């Protein structure tokens, strides 16, 4: 029973990672690719870690929980840094953006 | 069960191949940084599958180390790319 749940979780996670990889190639501009780089990869990694934890003892599974927690914390930080840097650098494709609330509010010089 | 592991590893390898395509093609430095970040996540996932195959929990601190290294590398590279673009 535990093996079946573990196999299903791992398949879901690998499929999510694969979909994220396809999105990373197919999406047209940097914010879209950033979505594909953070959300499906995090979900896939969490599912694979859960599937691994079902096959280990309890103390090893706790360390895996630490890895999962770290990924959940750091993925939004990376996405935020990438998005801000892309917006300031002007590599956001404005023909794909529906609402741009940041348009008139950015200071002119991008000094950090 | 070994068929499941084979399918999972093939899917992860395909995802890594797509990531490398984006790393090589990406028109901007930030695209390449995002691709490398995804690649580190895929390495962690594949190492986790390895641990699940052999039921050996002694390599798990390695996963935490690789994830931490990926975060520090991506954050630093993004800051560096932004700063260089600002000075241009």
The model's pTM is 0.87
Alpha helix ranges (H) inside chain A: 2-26, 30-53, 58-89
Q: Could you tell me the residue ranges of all domains in chain A?
A: 2-89
Q: How far is A39 from chain B (nearest CA, A)?
A: 11
Cα B57 to Cα A52, B1, B31, B33: the distances in Å are: 10, 19, 34, 31
ipTM above 0.85, yes or no: yes
Token pair 């870690």 is at which residue?
Answer: A49
pLDDT tens digits in sequence order for chain B, 88 residues long: 789 999 999 999 999 999 999 999 878 888 899 999 999 999 999 999 999 999 888 889 899 999 999 999 999 998 888 777 655 4
Question: Alpha-carbon distance A93 to A87, whole Å?
Answer: 9
Q: Please give, one letter per residue, the 3-state secondary structure of chain B.
A: CHHHHHHHHHHHHHHHHHHHHHHHHCCCHHHHHHHHHHHHHHHHHHHHHHHHHHCCHHHHHHHHHHHHHHHHHHHHHHHHHHHHHHHC
B66 neighbors B72 (Cβ within 8 angstroms): no
Which among B15, B41, B57 is the nearest to A56, CB-wise? B57
B67 to chain A: which residues are within 8 Å by CB?
67, 70-71, 74
Q: Which two tokens stand for residue B43?
A: 């390495």
Token representation of residue B71? 């975060």
Q: Please report residues of B whose CB lies closer than 8 A to that of A66.
A: 64
* Partner residue facing B86 (CB), from A11, A22, A110: A110
Interface contacts A/B by beta carbons within 8 Å: 163
């Amino acid at each position: 029973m535990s093996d079946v749940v573990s196999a299903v979780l791992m398949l879901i996670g690998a499929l999510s990672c694969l979909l994220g990889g396809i999105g990373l190639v197919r999406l047209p501009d940097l914010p879209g690719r950033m979505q594909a780089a953070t959300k499906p990869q995090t979900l896939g990694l969490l599912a694979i870690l859960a599937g691994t934890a079902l096959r280990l003892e309890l103390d090893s599974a706790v360390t895996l929980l630490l890895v999962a927690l770290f990924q959940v914390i750091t993925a939004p930080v990376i996405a935020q840094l990438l998005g801000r840097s892309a917006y300031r650098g002007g590599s956001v494709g404005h023909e794909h953006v529906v609402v741009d609330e940041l348009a008139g509010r950015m200071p002119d010089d991008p000094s950090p | 069960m070994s068929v499941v592991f084979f399918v999972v590893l093939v899917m992860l390898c395909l995802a890594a191949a797509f990531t490398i395509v984006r790393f090589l093609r990406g028109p901007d430095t930030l695209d390449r940084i995002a691709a490398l970040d995804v690649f580190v996540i895929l390495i962690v996932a594949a190492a986790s599958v390895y641990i699940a195959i052999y039921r050996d929990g002694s390599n798990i601190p390695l996963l935490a180390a690789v994830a931490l290294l990926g975060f520090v590398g991506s954050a630093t590279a993004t800051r560096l790319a932004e700063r260089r673009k600002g000075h241009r």
